[in-house]
Amino acid sequence: MSVLALSGGVGGAKLALGLYRVLPPDALRIAVNTGDDFDHLGLRICPDLDTALYTLGDLEHREQGWGRRDETWTMMRVTEALGGETWFRLGDADTALHLHRTQRLRAGERLTSVIAGIASRFGIRAAILPMTDDPVATRVTTDAGDLAFQEYFVRRRCEPRLRAIRFDGADRAHATPEVLAAFADPGLEAIVLCPSNPYLSVDPLLAVPSLRAALVARRVPAIAVSPLIGTNAVKGPTAKIMAELGIESSPAAIAAHYAGLIDALVVDDVDRDAAATLPVTTFATATLMKTLADRTRLASFVLERARELRR
């Protein structure tokens, strides 16, 4: 049996870890957003893939959600002294991974293969799959101009008012054979859209035509977990982004955003009443994930609902 999760960012990785812990080790495949990837200090940085690697490899910085917890910062300190860019914080151990990945990519290896090699070195049995090996770059149109994703998200801390989001290259990108095989796996039992920011972290995946087509043609239930709790996003700027895009921060907006792509939506208990009126099957439970137990419990809840939907 297998489960395919679609994930990006810190919120998605939390549920991915819960799924990883409650499923047989080889059962989980995670298609991960690569729209946040960029070249920086001569290195290829893949933030959402690395957050998934560190989280499932039990290396992640627990409070931040990104980067490693056992970090030192000599490289950043010397970069600063040399007048280099330090707005994007790269720890020494994290930088070793970027160096390693950049070398292998430069040698012509596919990103999918590089990530699989690193996951194996981290002892991770789940398949962490870039959504595509083709270039896709999330860019945002803001009142401070057209910005690359990390420039907006990290350097400017999401302060500029967001007008539009686009994913350069997505329309020409191909889902990897490994991602398409995960959708086609006869043993597939469920597809889980993790509680990542739908607009920044899930939409890039859905913008890859063959990935979206595979989700539309699904033969098993697809369940999305809302990243919102009430009108405030749990983590990150989701509510601010929705307001600036003119979208109400509600379960209804999330359901509408995923219309046709999901068979059920999981919302938090505080949204139980709002959920009763949605056009998609909706389940309510506690969706705030602070502890590992929160993550595994939510993962089990989602998988049980998917099994019910299959009967």
Strand (E) or helix (H) holding 305: helix 292-310
50 binds ligand FO1 (CB under 6 A): yes
Nearest residue (CB) to ligand FO1, 221 versus 237: 237
Please give the angle made by the CA atoms of 183, 282 and 24, to the nearest 5 degrees: 40
Nearest residue (CB) to ligand FO1, 91 versus 221: 91
Contact 249, 228 (CB under 8 A): yes
- For the chain, the straight-line distance linking the first and the last C-alpha, in angstroms and rounded, comes to 16
47 binds ligand FO1 (CB under 6 A): yes
310 binds ligand FO1 (CB under 6 A): no
Question: How far is the C-alpha of 119 from the C-alpha of 116, rounded, in Å?
Answer: 5
296 binds ligand FO1 (CB under 6 A): no
| Distance from chain centroid for Cα 157 | 18
Please give the angle made by the CA atoms of 170, 244 and 298, to the nearest 5 degrees: 70
With a CB cutoff of 8 Å and minimum separation 6, the contacts of 157 are: none
Report 59-88 residues binding ligand FO1 (CB under 6 A): 66-67, 88
Task: Compute the least distance from the CB of residue 116 to ligand FO1, in Å.
Answer: 18
Task: Compute the least distance from the CB of residue 182 to ligand FO1, in Å.
Answer: 21
238 binds ligand FO1 (CB under 6 A): no
Nearest residue (CB) to ligand FO1, 195 versus 221: 195
Q: Using the rule CB under 6 A, which residue among 7, 51, 176, 238 binds ligand FO1?
A: 51
Nearest residue (CB) to ligand FO1, 67 versus 221: 67
Task: Compute the least distance from the CB of residue 245 to ligand FO1, in Å.
Answer: 17
90 binds ligand FO1 (CB under 6 A): yes
Strands (E), the chain: 2-7, 28-32, 38-40, 43-45, 127-130, 137-142, 145-148, 162-168, 188-193, 222-225, 228-229, 232-233, 264-268, 281-285
Binding pattern for the stretch 193-232 against ligand FO1, x by CB under 6 A and - elsewhere: --------x-------------------------------
Task: Compute the least distance from the CB of residue 48 to ligand FO1, in Å.
Answer: 5
Scanning 48-56, 75-83, 103-111, 287-295 for contacts with ligand FO1 by CB under 6 A, the matching segment is 48-56
132 binds ligand FO1 (CB under 6 A): no
For residue 134 the two structure tokens come to: 């083709």
Question: How far is the C-alpha of 240 from the C-alpha of 58, rounded, in Å?
Answer: 30
Nearest residue (CB) to ligand FO1, 36 versus 271: 36
Question: How far is the C-alpha of 66 from the C-alpha of 53, rounded, in Å?
Answer: 10
Length of the chain: 311
Task: Compute the least distance from the CB of residue 153 to ligand FO1, in Å.
Answer: 5
State the CB neighbour count (10 A cutoff) for residue 262: 22
9 binds ligand FO1 (CB under 6 A): yes
Question: How far is the C-alpha of 15 from the C-alpha of 193, rounded, in Å?
Answer: 10
Binding pattern for the stretch 135-164 against ligand FO1, x by CB under 6 A and - elsewhere: ---------------x--xx----------
Counting DSSP H helices and E strands in the chain, the numbers are 13, 14
Summarize as ranges the residues that interact with ligand FO1 (CB under 6 A).
Answer: 8-10, 36, 47-48, 50-51, 66-67, 88-90, 94, 150, 153-154, 201
